[in-house]
Structure 1
Amino acid sequence: MGLIETIKNLFKRGGYALAGESLKTINEHPKVNIDPRELARIQRNISQYEGDYPKVEYVNSYGDKKKRDYMSLNMRKLSADVLSGLVFNEQCDIYVSDASDEDENENTLKQAHEYITHVFEHNKFKKNLSDYLEPMLALGGLAARPYFNEDNNEIELSWAIADAFFPLRSNSNGIPEGVMKDTTIKVEGDKTFYYTLLEFHEWEKSETGDDLYVITNELYRSDNQSEIGKRVPLEDLYEGMEEQTYIKGLSRPQFNYLKPAGFNNINPHSPLGLGIADNAISTLKKINDIYDQFWWEVKMGQRTVFVSDAMVNVHYDEAGNAPTEVFDPDVNVYKAMHMGDDKDPVKDVTNDIRTEQYISAINQSLRTLEMELKLSVGTFSFDGRSMKTATEIVSENDLTYRTRNKNVYEVEQFIKGLVVSILELAKFYKVYKGPIPSFEEIGVDFDDGVFQDRSALLRFYGQAKQFGFIPSVEAIQRIFKVPKKTAEEWMDLIVEERTDMDPMEIETFRNSRQFGIEE
């Protein structure tokens, strides 16, 4: 950093100090106004997701207060993991294709498809989205935004979970303005400092009346992890970063926000989403309490035998020789007790562990949790039974399958919005020159083969085609989840193959279509 920049930063730092720009929480920023209950809910969700619970206090046999770890079943994480695996996998296919029949448009949108494929591969998008869906479902939200990396001229992606994205403004169509938070830890000497970058995304009107998208960066520094701290120059951590960037020509925000399907009934006026277990807090606590008590009973239920202290105490004879030890010195089962003249010097006081009762209680609570999460009965089990397969889920018109489909729609809209944001940003930085597709021209195939019986689909659409209810190209698209252009190419190949058949083969082909293949 040069001398001039150092002097500028000193003036900036002094200006920030005079302006009193110091924040304890994100809500103290003048641009941010979030219901404190929402912030508390998100923080609670994160603690539960991490399995971070306070220690259990208890009184031992001597009346002393003791503490021990709280043992929990992390059902918030497990339920989110189960649902995220059903919603999205890395076999998902994302493509851009034009809905019209004009070759020129198809060729230009082919550029969009190729560029998006490159960006997603460069960012390992499918893997990252697959990973981030779990905390999104568990905590209630996820944001992703593209940014231009000048070092390699690539569009890259930044992710923010529920505690790192906050809305500035919202409407019925979503969240047009928001702030993303990113924390960096830096050790300076023997002290640890926490740098928090706040990135504000807002809209402004230019002098000509056009919409300008403004990204404002603010950096804060604190030696307390729970506080955002005092504002400092960006150059303290991010050399060359501009405080404000203006982007024109955008049709939508650069960030894309994803939340679980469903309405926020806990705070109906909030645009933020709920974690899938936010309406099951009492059930989660019941499951954890039962499991904690079960674990403690197992730990305390080891074999205990009281024996006469005469059998344990060491006595020396007149010659000073000690008798041979009765018990192995490494065994902790036996406890000495004065029994006087009791004829039975050994008493087994071990109590049976109530395993069946605890397992039954946990499984009953799991049934309640399944109902509250809108998952099918049998999704979870504490008695070693295997979970339902995807085939069983769809064959039973399963509740889990319907819940999964609602979240698939949310993820589909999120991906489409991200595609448009990437292409618009790339066009602004002149690394992409093609057109911007509409949502209708972006396809997302979630690879539902594991949930759908392709044979049943083939029979259904085959009959619809036979009676003239659907064109062949459309049937191919729906059965095999391919773009229209690919379906047309397949149809051309099918026609070519049929023209090469001899008359007998053509007649056999027609009969097989009408009456089915003879077995």
Structure 2
Amino acid sequence: MKVIQRIKNLFKRGGYALSGKDLKSINDHPKINIDPKELARIERNLRQYEGDYPKVEYYNSHGDLQKRDYMSLNLRKLSADVLAGLIFNEQCEINVSDADEKKKKDNSFKSAHEFIEHVFEHNKFKKNLADYLEPALALGGLTVRPYVDMETGEIEFSWAIANAFYPLRNNSNGISEGVMKSVTTKHDGNRTIYYTLLEFHEWEKGQDGNNLYVITNELYKSESPNEVGKRVALEEIYEGLQEVSYIPGLSRPLFNYLKPSGFNNINPHSPLGLGICDNSVSTLKKINDTYDQFWWEIRMGQRTVFVDDAVLNTLPDESGRPPKQIFDPDVNVYKSMRMNEGKDPVKDVTSDIRTDQYIAAINQSLRTLEMELKLSVGTFSFDGRSMKTATEVVSENDLTYRTRNDHVYEVEQFIKGLIVSVLELAKATTWNNKQLFDGEIPTFEHIGVDFDDGVFQDRTALLRFYGQAKQFGFIPTTEAIERIFKVPKEMAEEWYEQIIMDQSDMDPVEITSRRERRELGMEE
């Protein structure tokens, strides 16, 4: 019966391909049902993040319709960049404790910490996360999925920003099923062909009654970048890629979704996150419009002098040679105009540029943006003033620091989830007749993430505080180590044991005792 059900599932997955219907949008797929407003919001965020705005249309003095580029301040990118730099950097330390005490003492066993350290270093995880955190904050989400390269036996990471991931099912613990999208282009003569790979991650019941993780790959082909297209065989560009893969023994989805801190108030029923500027769209427009007008006023504010057309007339010289212009041909300041007789032949009509007014207007809007993003006053400035240092941010118990901490929690849970997914995938994968990882899978409590808060927190003050708390018996030593150095409980206990051993080696009584034992042994 289980086999029959699995065959039905395969036909169900492939049934859409048999229809031959084109997918105009991702929502045309029978498995995907995302609120179109959410898709539009993400696409708008991406355009603004890229600085892609439509041209400004206007009528010139002759009544002709003209177009020009829209000049903007890319504050969606700038604000995400500022916050991403405060949240995560490459000095972050990640520690994993092994739950299996017996295997810890086996030198032939590769610990979970060593395994994760190798995988993260191989994938340049810290650098990539530091880079991808910016678009995650700007657009509203980021997805990372580990997979195994069966040629090398290495675990690789696949990254997807907000417009390349769609949830299929979610609960209070997060998104349990989803689909990742990747687009590849191929040139055939003058034609550009767009291939869209949809990678579905779903759960189904296995023959033993346990949940079985299923990855289904579907490839679509189109000649339009705005359409998904018609389903084609995977071998057309992905040779050897399996259409369906089953992975047993997983406790969580392979993909890990990171969203900025905060509730999606724009669509409360959506599991997707919001970009940090999604509630500030009108403020961003006000800033950009003011800046665009300021730039255009500067562009139109070049010096203009009207002169009598007689002044610009060219006259032949006495020898009858061709006339020469009176003014330098490269000068565009002077404009010809018939003046009334008896009036000055030259009139300067240049208008002053309202620099102070525009700067004040932009700075006032920036204050509003800081309030909406929950950033401290002075984070942004259009008049060249320097921003606050990280030390000032913390010493003042700054709003930026508190906002940063909210996002840090989300990133910490994201990293811990990714570590568990990597180890579960490695344990479920056999390469060269051997499991990639054969140890125990740690829980979140066995994983420590130190975000290198040294720039925000005075470690000397922390040591002094916890040292005094320990001295008066208010906190155990292992707990103090765990909090100061952000390591798992098991690692803190190991450190404490090592400290006791080191201290005993330096104890004068112990040193004397060891010397006496050596001397007695020599006498015997």
TM-score in terms of structure 2 length: 0.89
SS of the residue aligned with 2:166? strand
Matches within 5 A, 1:161-310: 161-310=161-310
Q: Deviations over 1:1-37 (max 9, x none)?
A: xxxxxxxxxxxxx997751242111101011111111
Output the CA distance in 2 between the equivalents of 1:372 and 1:385.
21
> How far off is 1:465 after superposition?
1.5
Output the CA distance in 2 between the equivalents of 1:487 and 1:378.
44
Q: Deviations over 1:457-481 (max 9, x none)?
A: 1221121122111233432333334
Q: Deviations over 1:335-371 (max 9, x none)?
A: 1111142341111111111111101100000000001
103-112 or 172-181, which moves further after superposition? 103-112
Aligned to 1:454: 459
Q: Is the 8 A contact 1:391 1:451 kept in 2?
A: yes
Aligned to 2:469: 464
Q: Is the 8 A contact 2:450 2:485 kept in 1?
A: no
Q: Deviations over 1:195-241 (max 9, x none)?
A: 00000000000132111000000000000000000000000010011
Output the CA distance in 2 between the equivalents of 1:274 and 1:335.
53
What is the identity, as a one-letter code, of the residue corresponding to 1:394? V
What is the identity, as a one-letter code, of the residue corresponding to 1:33? N
**Structure 1 pair 85–498 and aligned structure 2 pair: CA distance change class (3 A):** farther
User: Runs of at least 4 residues of structure 1 off by over 3 A?
Assistant: 14-18, 102-110, 321-325, 480-483, 494-502
Aligned to 2:498: 489
What is the identity, as a one-letter code, of the residue corresponding to 1:479? I
What is the identity, as a one-letter code, of the residue corresponding to 1:344? D
SS of the residue aligned with 1:326? coil
What is the identity, as a one-letter code, of the residue corresponding to 1:168? L
Aligned to 2:350: 350
What is the identity, as a one-letter code, of the residue corresponding to 1:244? V
* RMSD over aligned Cα atoms: 2.0
**Structure 1 pair 493–23 and aligned structure 2 pair: CA distance change class (3 A):** same
Q: Deviations over 1:74-133 (max 9, x none)?
A: 000000000000000000011101479x56557699611000000000000001111110
**Structure 1 pair 498–326 and aligned structure 2 pair: CA distance change class (3 A):** farther
**Structure 1 pair 498–269 and aligned structure 2 pair: CA distance change class (3 A):** same
> How far off is 1:412 after superposition?
0.5
Residue 435 of structure 1 is aligned with which of 440, 445, 450?
440
> How far off is 1:309 after superposition?
1.2
Aligned to 1:421: 421
Runs of at least 5 residues in structure 2 that lack an aligned partner in the other structure: 1-13, 430-434, 512-524
Aligned to 2:484: 479
**Structure 1 pair 316–138 and aligned structure 2 pair: CA distance change class (3 A):** same
**Structure 1 pair 480–145 and aligned structure 2 pair: CA distance change class (3 A):** same
**Structure 1 pair 500–351 and aligned structure 2 pair: CA distance change class (3 A):** farther
Output the CA distance in 1 between the equivalents of 2:58 and 2:127.
45
> How far off is 1:190 after superposition?
2.1
Runs of at least 5 residues in structure 1 that lack an aligned partner in the other structure: 1-13, 503-519
**Structure 1 pair 134–17 and aligned structure 2 pair: CA distance change class (3 A):** closer
SS of the residue aligned with 2:158? strand
Matches within 5 A, 1:23-422: 23-98=23-98, 102=101, 104=103, 111-316=111-316, 319-321=319-321, 325-422=325-422
TM-score in terms of structure 1 length: 0.90
SS of the residue aligned with 2:111? helix
SS of the residue aligned with 2:71? coil
What is the identity, as a one-letter code, of the residue corresponding to 1:470? I
Q: Is the 8 A contact 2:98 2:113 kept in 1?
A: no
**Structure 1 pair 209–99 and aligned structure 2 pair: CA distance change class (3 A):** closer
Output the CA distance in 1 between the equivalents of 2:505 and 2:310.
100
SS of the residue aligned with 2:113? helix
Q: Deviations over 1:390-416 (max 9, x none)?
A: 101111111111110010000000000
**Structure 1 pair 499–346 and aligned structure 2 pair: CA distance change class (3 A):** farther
Q: Deviations over 1:294-326 (max 9, x none)?
A: 000111111111111111111225642456543
269-278 or 205-214, which moves further after superposition? 205-214
Q: Is the 8 A contact 2:75 2:284 kept in 1?
A: yes
